[in-house]
Structure 1
Amino acid sequence: MNLPALVDLPPSLQSLTQSHRQSFKAASPASAQWDEAFWLQFDRVCAASDFVFQQVQQDPTLLLELHASGLLQRRYGPGELRAQVVAALAEVDNEEQLGRQLRRQRTRQQVRIIWRDLTRQADLVQTCRDLSDLADASIDQAYQWLYPRHCQQFGTPRGRRSGAVQHMVVLGMGKLGARELNLSSDIDLIFGYPEGGETEGVKRPLDNQEFFIRLGQRLIKALDPITVDGFVFRVDMRLRPYGSSGALVLSFNALEQYYQDQGRDWERYAMIKARVVAGDQAAGAQLLEMLRPFVYRRYLDFSAIEALRTMKQLIQQEVRRKGMADNIKLGSGGIREVEFIAQAFQLIHGGRDLSLQQRPLLSVLATLEGQGYLPSAVVGELREGYAFLRYTEHAIQAIADRQTQMLPDGEHDQARIALMMGFADWPSFHGQLMHWRGRIDWHFRQVIADPDEEEGSTGDLSVGGEWLPLWEEEQHEEAACRQLEEAGFSDAARALKRLADLRTSPQLRAMQRVGRERLDAFIPRLLAQAVEHADPDLVLERVLPLVEAVARRSAYLVLLTENPDALRRLLTLCAASPWIAEQITRFPLLLDELLNESRLFSPPLAPELAAELRERLTRIPEDDLEQQMEALRHFKLAHNLRVAASEIVGSLALMKVSDYLTWLAEAILEQVLALAWRQTVARHGTPLRSDGQACDPGFIIVGYGKVGGIELGHGSDLDLVFIHDGDANAETDGLKPIDSAQFFARLGQKIIHLLTAQTNSGQLYEVDMRLRPSGAAGLLTSSIGAFERYQLNEAWTWEHQALVRARVLVGCGQVAGAFEQVRAQVLSRQRDLPALRTEVSEMRAKMRDNLGTRITAAGTAANAFDACVPLDLKQDAGGIVDIEFMVQYAALAWAGEYPALLQYTDNIRILEGLEQAGLLPAADASLLREAYKAYRSAAHRQALQKQAGVVSGELFVAERREVRRIWGELGLT
């Protein structure tokens, strides 16, 4: 962060320096030694700050000691400032001395901090951190001094339920909580204590609340009053529940009840920065955890925008009323607007994105940039503008140690501000200041501005206002139908009935007033955008169920009201795909994905996908399995939507769609295996391999079918097989040891549970384990040796066909290598080709008989190409499975002679390998590839339309005939 430049003293301030030097020398001890470098700094600091000059003039030994100790030239080490406060209070005998020593320490530290700030030896972060550390130490040490003496007088407070000794918790709010105190900040505090009870050890016990109220009053008295020694910190307790009229101290239960029942939006905003600054740190951490659900909602909470907008309007009214346009904190483009921008994102997204649950504003801005919430250029301007304003704030306050953010109107102080900010004169400084205020205000409006203003509406008519009378039934049915027809609805009466049904639904009747107001603001916008579509009837049909589903969680309606582009994308996707409409209706949290167009239509590549999921899970405590499962499910839902949206708009081709869906499954399986492994090892210890080494994890998840062939579609299940290399005769090394077979069986069960358990966000995947050795009758997990023996000696031909598409998805590299060797050994065996053709043909015939279209004899009858009969893209003759069986037959027939056929598991690249080896004519191989992609593309489209993979028999006639021809030429029947 750039520090303001050092510039020469202007002539208007140079006259001060000589008199200041003389006065200070006269007051200093005769033995004091000062070098020229010191005097240059002295002139600069004392010309700018009356406060510093007054303090060092009164007590020159203060500056002498700071200079001699080197504290003016270096930063504090960890805990060093607190140690100085502790030492200052070591000999304190009474409260009068406590107050005096705290005030003297504050003056000493304030002189040092201002000196280092004005001589550019400390940047903004260091200055704010020193001020905050001083406040922390002053509050906590005052409390630690007062508490035992208070107990001697009134007894020791104990909890009625726990019997434990009770301590007070002091929460620092605002800038103190974020460690961002300015040079003359007050401190906003909230006092609490863990539980009710009474004191013991005295004749007349006190109720715990009364005990802590009296203690809180003594603590404030130690810090706040102005005496001949100054003050420590101005204490503001108005942020506590019920404000000035509320009890000074409340129990944790009372605090939780208040925020749960009566907490207001501005209190959520304030609580973002709450931090335990004094008292019982462990109990304070529990309190903050209790209050976290009040601050951070589990869902996207765009109602925060409304609250912040209202707060800003109230501030603007106050600024205008008091003529405070030159207030660099509250005025337009001021510090508060940067804070509002950051905290808007925290309140909206922080419940789900734990990386936003932090206090320092600059750290939040960095996260907004890193997580893609705001562009780097925007964050850069906000960061620079904020720093400029905070340096300016410090310059204003350094003059006289006054709590003000108003620009001075006198030329003398204006010259001081320009000097401290590195400008030759006031006009130069003021021009730069107004530049940054203008940029901040512009960015603020992009985030906080009312969407009606953003859309450029005029007068009192908001966006979609022409539809409000229809929605509120302020016009006759005939006029309403006419308005709908003129706007493009084909069945106006039906559309009107849909709106009426929504209006009278139980969910809407149960809505609270705020929710109903949000709905009334949203529906006109919805109708205004729906009529822009070619089929507004269809849009309404698919979107109104979502509106009804989220009516009781109206923050989602605010999201769409506040983000017209997100609403536009929602309607486009729902119009294109009922599957997407259903997904968003079932899981409204997906609406978050609509906010960022570039992210929505640009899914990440495999490495970024895996890294994003790992990062997301690292923010969740390891023992919070419920939240980890929810995070996995939300991740899958979000990326599924992004892939589907990209497919609909054409930014992803079919092969890439399957790639992304497969990468997504692999990223999820990697984390599921890690979770299951960690939990199983924690319970039973680590299993051992036959060589005595620990398995870590000694386990692989093998994917078959679509996931093995990198051909996943929307809604595909996972065909999985679990393999390990544990020693069956060895036990795990934990407190509850079990043999390796049991360990890996339980590991497999845990993996299946994590994948299939239904939570609020659904399940991750349906899992099919029937391709494991011996199928449903076999063990859930197999050792690599048992898997090899089964494949070589017991497996059926169809199981070897399945093995063609099998590959390791995640797990131990060593076991993966062993699996690849077994697979190659099995698939490369010499086979009796006539017998192989017979077995493959018979298995295919059984599938057609059981799964194909009956009225066309699975696509083999003469009517198979009629428009009036259905075609099963997968199972009918000439379709997907025929191509898959031909590929599998070819791999089994020729892999022994052409091992390159085993390199890949997907049909497209195996077909390329058959062509390169000369085993299939180039024309035939190309035809099969293109037919296969065409079939799968059609199946994907059907899935997005929530339809089975069945189309009209008149489609794909040429492709099916050619596939059947090649089938026959391979000798299959």
Structure 2
Amino acid sequence: MDAAPRMQTTAGRLARLGFADGARAERLLDELGPEAAGDVALLGSLVGTADPDLALTSLNRLAEQDPDVLGALRADPGLRARLLGVFGVSAALGDHVVRHPEHRRLLGGAAAVESPAAAELRAELLLAVGADPGDAEPVAADDSVATLSALRVAYRGRLLHLAARDVTGAASLAEVTAELSDLAAAALEAGLAVARSRHPEAGAVRLAVIGMGKCGARELNYVSDVDVVFVAEPREDADGAVDEHRVVQLATRLAQGMMRACSATTPEGSLWQVDAALRPEGKAGPLVRTLASHQAYYRRWAKTWEFQALLKARPVAGDTALGGQYVEAMNEMVWQAATREKFVEDVQAMRRRVEAHIRAGEAERQLKLGPGGLRDIEFAVQLLQLVHGRLDPLLRRRATLPALAALSRGGYVGRDDAKALAEAYTFLRRVEHLIQLHRLRRTHVVPEEAADLRRLGRSLGMTADPVGEFTARWKRHAVEARRLHEKLFYRPLLQAVARLPESEARLSAAAAQARLEALGYADPAGALRHIGALTSGVSRRAAIQRTLLPVMLGWFADAPDPDAGLLGFRQVSDKLGATPWYLRLLRDETAVAATLARVLGTSRYVTGLLMNAPEAVSMFGSDAELVPRPARALLSEARTVVGRHPGEAESAVAAVRGLRRRELLRTAVADLSGVIGIEEVGRALSALNDVTIQAALDAAVGKVEMERRTPVGTRFAVIAMGRLGGFESSYGSDADVMFVHSPLAGVPEREATEAAFAVANELRRLLALPAPDPPLLIDPDLRPEGRQGPLVRTLASYAAYYGRWSSPWEAQALLRARVSAGDVELGTGLLHLADPLRYPAEGIPDSAVLHIRKLKARMEAERLPRGADPALHTKLGPGGLSDVEWTAQLLQLRHAGRLPSLRTTRTLEALGAAVTEGLLAEADEAVLADAWRFASRIRDAIMLVRGRAADSIPVDARERTLISRALGYPPDGTEDFVDDYRRATRRARRVVERVFYDD
């Protein structure tokens, strides 16, 4: 084969790999040598860059200067990725590395991915000009061209180091902009050191360099003018008195020298222009002023835009103590600027003027100044900060993205709007950086050439259609940024808030805070922010909120925790505020609004449920809506939900848990509203858990059959135990269960058992998957042999175990066993098998009674948490749940064999049957039932109030008050609540000691 076809074939392959000019790429690879041409890793790295042709060109040029570079790239994949990544984006940095090949070593090794501290950058650039970083005011060796060139070389070396981390994804946008700002500050400090070498007489003054704009906010671009303001004061220890005129004169020389050191052109180019046009009076004003002169100007003459500029002021070089004094003095005026006449209108007019001065034909391609550009986002954020920041210090942030996040947290910008603006800003800034990196030129215009657009798209990870995808994303972000800019920047509320005189605003706020404090709000300032966020604007939504809130604030105040109620209302309103029916329902249905206020101000548990199911507010309208739904209807709905997700067990169970969340909310609100009592709560929660287990079981069986590609081959049932079996579940209860299976005819028992194990484990897994819904944890520890025993058994295995090994406690546990889910006939078969154990014909023997009493005493001694007050522990304390339940169960074990009325899984039913059968005095039953109901209500109230389960009445006085209020006690009734509980449990304990411990 001759050479021409070979070249065409190789060139074509390179073109298909991503090189724009395959023939040229082949030639350049050949020039690198035979090893390079066959280096698959090198070729892969080149192809992965934004512009493979550009990267290869720069690599070729570097290899001419540094023949060892190819070996270094082969030895260090990280160096290869970083160096070629930069070469594929930046022709200018490629030129720099070719001129200074030693700088490619900055991109190798562990240090290549480490972010330098600001102090490290400062020291490095000061050393580059021959200054001692340790001096309080470093002085350079001289101001020669060689010194200035050394500064530029060191600066660009650091720029190269940062760009390499940027283009390879090792540095975030925030890290990049902050480091660029720190690097600029270091260069200013080095420039100041050079100026001091030329003007030693200026040592008699203190000079502070204040960074403005993006430098001040630590969000600088790769290539940008660095905006500064200078402030000077005489040095106190200077020889002889220095008057203000002389101070300004000397400091001006120093400032001018610093600006020249950074801006002057050398054989290594310049750094950037130092722009002091943001100073008082702009270019027409003195370059340097004293602090008093600055203050006098801003108090009397400053225009609105000047306060907007000061928003980002930060000391960056020189005398940092003086710089700090300057910023502190300016901030006092900045955050009151919004009260100026026509402040908002001035800022809006300024934005329009900026747009009007965009060059013809550039508006649609301007990342910075055009519609939907960076300025749209920055101006909107800054205006909101300045208007609301005078009364909300949390908004006082220099950088755009942190300020936007603070505005979102404070409710001044919706979360979705803030997210969209942040995404647009981040995208536009990244594009701006990539455009500037190419030639290290100050530009904000998106190029028109396809090759440039392709490079941008590939830089951003777009490979299929870089040009089309980049253009589409850019336009989408620009359109969204413009929409949100107009929404926020021209919000009518801004003028109303800004026009309110400062004194009146503060008096109004103080009066409102006093009123809220009197109503019982612990954080009246926070409440005001929520109220402001809910009522701001002239929208229909805001108007309805302004009508609702005066009434609802009173309802919140009547609830145990007004602050939590208002916060929860704001959160729910954020979720549903755009839904047309929500606010109309609250306005038109007083009962809904009142119920919502009461439960939000009482229960973190309900608030948490509402956050994930806010549409459930619609059920608050009537008591009939709050009555728990029948289990049959719930099961039908749950099975329908599972049926909508064939073959997707996780999705099916997630949907079922969503249904459970809604019904938990219904039950909790009915509970707090007094629509249902504690026994109905237990029945509703237990039935809901049964339905959830059944639906999850259906999904688990389907999943196992799909994975095994065969029917499970066995019948399967879930037996409810413990509180679930007794229909006494609480909001925080686990589901105590046992699993039983029975192989179908013709299916080997081992195969059936393996399938049953798979179903049981899948059921537990599905219900334990992380989700925003309250968990339903399956606890199988009450099975034979506890945790040591098999998870699933056959009926025969249960029969063998119970016939030979069972303990009295297992018979006691079986008293609560009932069928929860699965094959009812199979489950009933297990219950029949257990009946002789739990309902022995002659009752349990005296030895078993003694065993149970000892077990109860040991449990009280060992399981009570360390340091807990037994009298306030609702489960294990004297007269608590355990006392009452074990008393009922002992009566059942001793007498249910001959008295079928005692054969119930429910505690209170068992006590009632014991009265009917003459085993328990009616008065004793009433005492035990009262204590059981009281303890159960407290456990549920703790969960509802705190959002997490606990068994002890809390020690904290505030939490006790919240719980007592949830239980219906008046605000001053906390001690009555505790006394009532102690009294009820003391009486119950006396009964327990007679009935449980005495024969």
Length-normalised TM-score, structure 2: 0.46
Length-normalised TM-score, structure 1: 0.47
Larger radius of gyration: 2
Q: Which of the pair has the greater relative contact order for Cα pairs under 8 Å at 6+ separation?
A: 1
Higher helix share: 2
